[in-house]
């Protein structure tokens, strides 16, 4: 009986040491910041005449940034961040790029996922003018091309 108690008392500190070694030292997320680039380009009736505006951020889970545009801005909150995939929520409802290009006004939403190597495009849900944002993971030289 005494040896069982002694073994139990020896195992408890080892278990606690194992749990504390797995936890983040700051008590927060273990996610490393990931570079996310948001490029805004305004358009009107198919004409895009102004220079794009770029917002570059070191994204972490829970971080919110204002993505600047020529005429309008949108707040973006990162809900999941990894070098391969970033999930975000926009402050305003947006229209994702349609399967054949253009925007899909039948599928407006605020939640989007971008994957490494595949730019994400969404726009203000309008047919006569607005802003299109192109979102990429990493320090892309020209995500609009």
Query: 30 or 132: which carries more pLDDT confidence?
Result: 132
Q: Which residue has the higher pLDDT, 46 or 135?
A: 135
| 109 Cβ contact list (under 8 Å, min separation 6) | 93, 94, 96
Domain spans of the chain, in order of start: 34-137
State residue 4's pLDDT score.
52
Whether 24 has a pLDDT exceeding 80, the answer reads no
- Rounded distance between C-alpha atoms, residue 123 and residue 126, angstroms: 8
Closest-CA residue to 88 (of 104, 112, 70, 115): 112
Asked whether residue 60 carries a pLDDT value surpassing 90, the answer given is: yes
For the ranges 51-55, 133-137, 138-142, the lowest mean pLDDT is seen at: 138-142
């Amino acid at each position: 009986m005494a040896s069982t108690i002694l073994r139990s008392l020896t195992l408890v500190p080892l278990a606690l040491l194992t749990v504390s070694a797995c936890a983040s030292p700051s008590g927060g997320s273990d996610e490393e910041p990931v570079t996310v680039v948001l490029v805004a380009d305004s358009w009107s009736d198919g004409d895009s005449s102004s220079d794009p505006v770029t917002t570059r951020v070191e994204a972490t889970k829970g971080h919110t940034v204002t993505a600047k545009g020529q005429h309008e801005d949108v707040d973006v909150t990162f809900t999941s961040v990894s070098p391969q995939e970033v999930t975000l929520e926009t402050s305003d409802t947006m229209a994702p790029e349609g399967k054949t290009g253009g925007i899909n006004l039948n599928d407006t939403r605020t939640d989007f996922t971008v994957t490494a190597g595949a730019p994400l495009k969404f726009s203000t849900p309008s047919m006569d003018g607005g802003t299109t944002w192109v979102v990429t993971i990493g320090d892309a030289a020209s995500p609009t091309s």
